[in-house]
Amino acid sequence: MHITKKRTDIILKALQEKGDWDYATHYGEPGYQNPEVGILFADWNPVSRRICDYLEEAGYELEWCDEWYVDYDNDKAWRTSPTSYDWQCSIRYTEHGVLTPDDSLEDWIDEIAMTDWSQPTGTVPSWITPNDLEERGFIKYNGDFETGWHPGQTDDAHVIAVLLFETIPDIERVLFRIGESSQFYTVWEAYYWRDAGSFDDSMDGDFDSAMASAGHGTDEDYGGIQDE
């Protein structure tokens, strides 16, 4: 196929006039290799296979515009539609814009961390590591938790948030981290932040004992899985 700059410019101009298209130079999304020229996002249904083949031959990767978010500040594309049961979104939509992995961890934590048990449970994606949180003063609580369809996978993040806020002195923030996602269950972790001067590891014991002493009962008393 004969590739010329003039023909490529004509095709790109036609896409631009169509309106429903976008462009990024790089993938931010894990698992993707950057193309030779860049990434084009559009509704490709009305575009002929011949034109699509030409653009790919010219060095572009073609993606569907309704499955991606383009971060113009960093010239990167992030996927917004799942590709598998274990896929996790790397970005987060907020009232103030979109957070991506190129934003600071402090911005992510400030956006997600709960400061009161009555707030929606805040969860960070797995690309934020336990070490990232611990370096910022967060303490992991009581191992891993599981929520899903299999017997025993009945842990409830809201119940744990209530427990932590009501039983740990000087606690200021709570957040949760996704460890593993699948079709039938999710593995996650709980973290809290408190004044380091008042640290007490007495809360690292058995979950049901702590719940009972706090007057909340066990996770089974709450009926297992609850909608977040």
Question: Tens digit of pLDDT per residue, the chain (228 long)?
Answer: 788 999 999 999 988 887 778 999 999 999 999 999 999 999 999 999 999 999 999 999 999 999 999 999 999 999 999 999 999 999 999 999 999 999 999 999 999 999 999 998 989 999 999 999 999 999 999 989 999 999 888 999 999 999 999 999 999 999 999 998 888 999 999 999 997 654 444 444 444 555 555 444 444 443 333 333
Structure letter (DSSP) for residue 202? G
CA distance 113 to 204: 20
At residue 66, the pLDDT reads 95
Task: Tell me how far apart the 2 most distant CA atoms of the chain are, in Å.
Answer: 75
In sequence order, what E strands does the chain have?
A: 21-24, 26-27, 38-42, 60-64, 68-71, 76-79, 92-94, 97-99, 123-124, 139-148, 171-181, 185-194
At residue 69, the pLDDT reads 98
